[in-house]
Amino acid sequence: MTKEYVKKCHIASWPENDVYFSRGISVLARKVINSHSGLNYMFINLNSYTLRLFFRSFSQLSKSGYQLIIISTQRLMPLAFFWHLKCHAVSAIFESRCSVHDVIRGLDTVATGRQIVWSLPGAACLLSSRDVLLLRHYLEGGSMGYLQEKHCRAYSTLQAWKTAVARKFKVRKLEHLLIPN
């Protein structure tokens, strides 16, 4: 299936340069296209490789006019769930280990106007806006000094916040989010 065919069907994938993910989405599009005409889907691949780019691009993606479907690694599900709650454009979240059949069933639910989350993170893994801001600042290479000034907190408090955010992702340090599973 060519990119032109996928675009005509109003199905897109992000990041665009991820050949394997795009190919998988084109296979999925072939199976979904007949039953979901008129719907615009953008499938987002959220993993350790795309995490930084995701933060830079998400505001544009959410305003693209597509219904966003996030396919995330298990480790990054808390972040996907956060955006599912905060952004109405996010219609569904699936773990990357879901089968094509499960994704198609989920898209049937989305087509009826409902949102779907394939697996809910535990209450201890729910991210707050502050957690996401701290993670974003860290991934963009921001300094702890800037955060100290912004939040009027001691260095040790910010370190505790970083540790708490890392625990929500079930890693020891935030750096470990960038290591492929």
For 134-173, how does the pLDDT look when each residue is reduced to its tens digit (9 = 90+)?
A: 999 988 888 888 888 888 889 999 999 999 999 999 999 9
Report, as an integer, the average pLDDT of 103-120: 80
- 174 with 150, same domain: the answer is yes
Structure token digits, residue 70: 């996030």
- 37 with 99, same domain: the answer is yes
pLDDT for the residue 76: 94
Q: In what order do the strands lie in the sheet with 90-95?
A: 11-14, 41-46, 67-72, 90-95, 116-117
Residue 7's pLDDT band, with cuts at 50, 70 and 90, is very low
- 106 with 52, same domain: the answer is yes
- Give the domain-ending residue among 123, 142, 157: 123
pTM: 0.85
* Cα distance between residue 164 and residue 60, in whole Å: 29
- Give the domain-ending residue among 101, 123, 145: 123
For 87-100, how does the pLDDT look when each residue is reduced to its tens digit (9 = 90+)?
A: 999 999 999 998 88
Q: How many domains does the chain have?
A: 2
- 43 with 22, same domain: the answer is yes
- 77 with 39, same domain: the answer is yes
CATH number of the domain bearing residue 23: 3.40.50
- Please enumerate in sequence order all residues whose Cβ is within 8 A of that of 57, keeping only pairs 6 or more positions apart, or say none: 14, 15
- Give the domain-ending residue among 123, 141, 161: 123
For residue 165, which of 133, 120, 119 has the smallest C-alpha distance?
Answer: 133
Domain residues for the domain of 93 are 3-123
- 118 with 131, same domain: the answer is no
- 68 with 143, same domain: the answer is no
* Cα distance between residue 58 and residue 84, in whole Å: 12
E-strand ranges in 66-174 read 67-72, 90-95, 116-117
E-strand ranges in the chain read 11-14, 41-46, 67-72, 90-95, 116-117
